[in-house]
Chains A and B, each alone.
Chain A
Amino acid sequence: MSSTRVVITGYGAVSPFGLTADELWEGLNEGKCGIKEIEAFDASSFQCKYAGEVPDFKVRKFVPKKRRKATKLMSRDIELAVVAAKEAVEKSGLVTKGVDPEKVNVSPERMSINLGSGFMSCDIEELAPAVAKSLNEGHFDIKKWGKDGMRMITPLWLLKYLPNMLACHVGIIHDIQGPSNTITCAEASGHLAMAEAAQTIIRGKSDIAFTGAAEAKVQPILITKQCLLKRANTDLGSPDELCRPFDSKANGAIFGEGGGIIIMEEIEHARSRETEIFAELAGLGHSNSLSEDFEFQEESGEGIRLAIEMALEDAEISAEDIDLIIPHGTAVPADDLAEGNAIQDVFGYLSEKPALWPTKSMLSHTGAAASILDVISGIYSINNGIIPAAKNCDSTINGFDFNISGEKRRMNIRNVLCISYTFGGQTAAVVLKKYE
Chain B
Amino acid sequence: MKEISEEKRVVVTGLGLICPLGHHVEDIWQAMLDGKSGIEKTTIFDSSTFPTTFSAEVKDFDLSNFIENVRIHEKGNRGTLFVLAAAAEACKHAGIDIEKYTPQDGIDRTKMGIYLGAGEGCIDNDVFFGAIAESWNDEEREMDWNKWAEYSFSKMKPQRELEQEPNMPAGHLAKLTGARGPSRSCLTACAASTQAIGEAACMIRDGKADIILSGGAHSMIHPLGVTGFNLLTALSTRNDEPHTASRPFSASRDGFVIGEGGAIVILESLESAKKRNAEILAEVVGYGSSSDAFRVTDMHSEGRGGVQAINAALDDAGITYKDIDYISTHGTSTSENDSIETKAIKKAFKERAKQIPCSSVKSMMGHLIGATGAAEFITCVLAIRDGIAPPTMNLNDPDPELDLDYVPNKPRKMDINIALNESFGFGGQNNVVIVKKFRE
Contact = CB atoms under 8 A, between A and B. Distances in A.
Interface of A: 1-6, 41-47, 70, 73, 108-109, 112-113, 117, 119, 122, 124-125, 127-129, 131-132, 134-135, 138-140, 142-147, 150, 153-159, 162-165, 167-169, 171-172, 174-186, 188, 192, 195-196, 198-199, 202-203, 205, 220, 224-225, 227-230, 281-284, 286-288, 290-292, 294-295, 302-303, 306, 310, 313-316, 422-426
B167 A424 contact: yes
A168 B426 CA distance: 9
B305 interface: yes
B162 interface: yes
B188 A306 contact: no
A183 B114 CA distance: 13
11 contacts: A142-B45, A146-B46, A146-B49, A155-B232, A164-B189, A165-B296, A168-B291, A178-B290, A179-B289, A179-B291, A184-B186
Contacts of A426: 167, 170-171, 183-185
Given A159-B232, A172-B294, A294-B172, A131 B133 contact: yes
Interface in B233-270: 233
Contact of B174 (A186, A288, A310): A288
A230 B50 contact: no
| Most chain B CB within a 10 A radius of its CB, from A131, A281, A313 | A131
Contacts of A227: 153
A111 to B, nearest CB: 9
Contact of B158 (A112, A196, A228): A228
A128 B135 CA distance: 9
Given A164-B188, A290-B178, A45 B138 contact: no
B312 A284 contact: no
Q: Which 5 A-B pairs give the minimum distances between C-beta atoms?
A: A158-B228, A146-B49, A3-B3, A168-B427, A424-B171
Given A119-B120, A196-B184, A150 B231 contact: yes
Given A113-B291, A119-B164, A424-B170, A181 B186 contact: yes
A235 B287 CA distance: 50
B398 interface: no
B391 to A, nearest CB: 31
A119 B161 CA distance: 11
Contacts of B168: 294, 424
Contacts of A220: 143, 145, 148
B183 A182 contact: no
User: How big is the B interface, by class?
Assistant: 35 or more
B136 interface: yes
A109 B290 CA distance: 8
Contacts of A181: 186, 188, 195, 199, 289, 429
B47 A146 contact: yes
Contacts of B171: 288, 294, 423-426
B429 A180 contact: yes
B293 A199 contact: no
A139 B168 CA distance: 31
Given A290-B174, A424-B170, A180 B3 contact: no
A218 to B, nearest CB: 13
Contact of B296 (A139, A168, A176, A177): A168
Contacts of A316: 2
A134 to B, nearest CB: 8
Contacts of A422: 167
B291 A290 contact: no
| Most chain B CB within a 10 A radius of its CB, from A1, A42, A129, A146 | A146
A287 B1 contact: no
Contacts of B5: 1
B181 interface: yes
A183 B232 contact: no
Interface in B131-190: 132-133, 136, 138, 141-143, 145-146, 148-150, 152-153, 156-158, 161-162, 164-168, 170-172, 174-175, 178-189
B3 A1 contact: yes
B327 to A, nearest CB: 21
| Most chain A CB within a 10 A radius of its CB, from B47, B158, B179 | B158
A84 B174 CA distance: 33
A200 B384 CA distance: 29
Interface in B205-245: 206, 223-224, 227-233
A158 B232 contact: yes
Contact of B175 (A150, A177, A425): A425
Contacts of A128: 132, 136, 143
Contact of A286 (B183, B186, B187): B183
